[in-house]
Amino acid sequence: MTVIKLNHITKIEGHASLNLSIKNGKVEVCELQAVEGSRYFEGLLKGRRYFEASEISSRICGICSCAHTVTAIQAIENALGVDVSEQTGLLRELVTIGERIRSHATHIYFLALPDYLGYESALSMAEKYKNELSRALKIIKMGNGIVKVVGGRDLHPVSLTVGGFLKVPSEEELKEIRKELELIKEGTILTGKLFGRLEYPEFVNKTEYFSLVKREEYATLNGDMVSGSKRYKQEEYSKYLKEYHEKYSTANFVVKEGRSYMVGALARVNNSYKSLSSDARKILKSFKIEFPNYNPFVNNFAQAVEIVHFVDRALDICDLLKVKEEPVKKVRLREGHGISAVEVPRGTLWHEYKLDSKGRITYANIITPTTQNLRNLQDDIRAYLPSVMKLSKEKMILEIEKLIRSYDPCFSCSTHFLKVNFV
Amino acid sequence: MGSILARMGLCLGMMRLRMTEDKLKVGFYNITGCAGCLLSVLFNEDDLLHVAKIIDIKAFPFIKEKKNDGELDVVFMEGLVASNDDVKVLKEVRKKTKVLVALGACACTGCIPAFRNFIQKENYERKVFLRKLELRDQKPVPIDKHVKVEYYIPGCPPDKNEILTFIKDIVLGKKPRGYDKPVCFECRLNKNTCFLDKKELCLGPITNGNCNSVCINGGLVCWGCRGATPDANFETMISLLKEKGIKAKDIKDRMKTFVGLKLPKEVIR
- Structure ipTM: 0.95
Element (H, E) at A192: helix A171-197
Q: How many CA atoms lie within 13 A of B216 on its CB side?
A: 30
Per-residue model confidence (pLDDT) at position B6? 46
Per-residue model confidence (pLDDT) at position B128? 39
- B204 and B139 within one domain: no
Q: How many domains are there within chain B?
A: 2
In a domain, residue B104? The reply is yes
In a domain, residue B177? The reply is no
Decide if pLDDT at A339 tops 60.
Answer: yes
Q: Which pLDDT band, with edges at 50, 70 and 90, does A36 fall under?
A: confident
Alpha-carbon radius of gyration of chain B: 19
Q: Of B172, B201, B218, which residue is a domain's last?
A: B172
Q: Tens digit of pLDDT per residue, chain B (269 long)?
A: 444 544 554 454 445 444 446 899 999 999 999 999 999 999 999 999 999 999 999 999 999 998 876 899 999 999 999 999 999 999 999 999 999 999 999 999 999 999 999 987 655 554 333 444 555 789 999 999 999 999 999 999 999 999 999 999 999 999 998 899 999 999 999 999 999 999 999 999 999 999 999 999 999 999 999 999 999 999 999 999 999 999 999 999 999 999 999 999 888 87
Please judge whether A56 and B42 are an interchain contact, meaning their C-beta atoms are less than 8 angstroms apart.
no
In a domain, residue B178? The reply is no
Domain that holds residue B256: 183-268
Give pLDDT tens digits for A238-286: 999 999 888 888 788 899 999 999 999 999 999 999 999 999 999 999 9
In a domain, residue B127? The reply is yes
Under a CB-based contact definition with an 8 Å cutoff, are residues A15 and B85 in contact?
yes
Flag whether residue A345 sits within 8 Å of chain B, measured between CB atoms: no
* A279-303 b/e (C-beta count within 10 Å ≥ 16 → b): bbbebbeeeebebebbbbbbbbbbb
Q: What is the pTM of this model?
A: 0.94
- B252 and B146 within one domain: no
Q: Which CATH architecture has domain A41-414?
A: Orthogonal Bundle (1.10)
| Percentage above 70 pLDDT, chain A | 98
Q: What span, in angstroms and rounded, lies between the C-alpha atoms of A410 and A64? A: 9
- B17 and B116 within one domain: yes
Per-residue model confidence (pLDDT) at position A285? 96
When CB atoms are compared, the residue of B40, B49, B66 closest to A126 is B49
Give pLDDT tens digits for A175-228: 999 999 999 999 999 999 999 999 999 999 999 999 999 998 999 999 999 999
Q: What span, in angstroms and rounded, lies between the C-alpha atoms of B140 and B150? A: 20
| Helix/strand/coil for B1 | coil
Q: Closest approach of chain A CAs to the CA of B6, in angstroms? A: 30
- B192 and B135 within one domain: no
First to last CA, chain A: 33
CATH number of the domain that residue B158 is part of:
3.40.50.700
- B93 and B7 within one domain: yes
- B78 and B12 within one domain: yes
Please judge whether B124 and A42 are an interchain contact, meaning their C-beta atoms are less than 8 angstroms apart.
yes
- B135 and B49 within one domain: yes
Please judge whether A8 and B127 are an interchain contact, meaning their C-beta atoms are less than 8 angstroms apart.
no
Question: Which of A205, A232, A236, A220 has the alpha carbon at shortest distance from A373?
Answer: A205
Average pLDDT, chain A: 94
Per-residue model confidence (pLDDT) at position A422? 31
- B82 and B113 within one domain: yes
Please judge whether B46 and A154 are an interchain contact, meaning their C-beta atoms are less than 8 angstroms apart.
no
The domain ranges of chain A are: 2-34, 41-414
Which residues of chain A are within 8 Å of residue B219 when distances are taken between CB atoms? Answer: 152, 158-159, 161, 165-167
In a domain, residue B121? The reply is yes
Q: Closest approach of chain B CAs to the CA of A278, in angstroms? A: 29
- B197 and B107 within one domain: no
Please judge whether A158 and B82 are an interchain contact, meaning their C-beta atoms are less than 8 angstroms apart.
no
Question: Which of A51, A59, A93 has the alpha carbon at shortest distance from A76?
Answer: A51
Please judge whether B63 and A153 are an interchain contact, meaning their C-beta atoms are less than 8 angstroms apart.
no
Decide if pLDDT at A29 tops 50.
Answer: yes
What's the mean pLDDT in A124-152? 97
Question: Which of B172, B161, A254 has the alpha carbon at shortest distance from B153?
Answer: B161
Backbone region of residue B72 per phi and psi (left: phi > 0; alpha: psi in -120 to 50; beta: other values): beta
- B156 and B40 within one domain: yes
Give pLDDT tens digits for A73-112: 999 999 999 999 999 999 999 999 999 999 999 999 999 9
| Helix/strand/coil for A335 | coil
Q: What is the dihedral angle through the alpha carbons of B138, B140, B144, B146, rounded to the nearest 10 degrees?
A: -10
Flag whether residue B246 sits within 8 Å of chain A, measured between CB atoms: no
Q: What span, in angstroms and rounded, lies between the C-alpha atoms of B127 and B83? A: 20
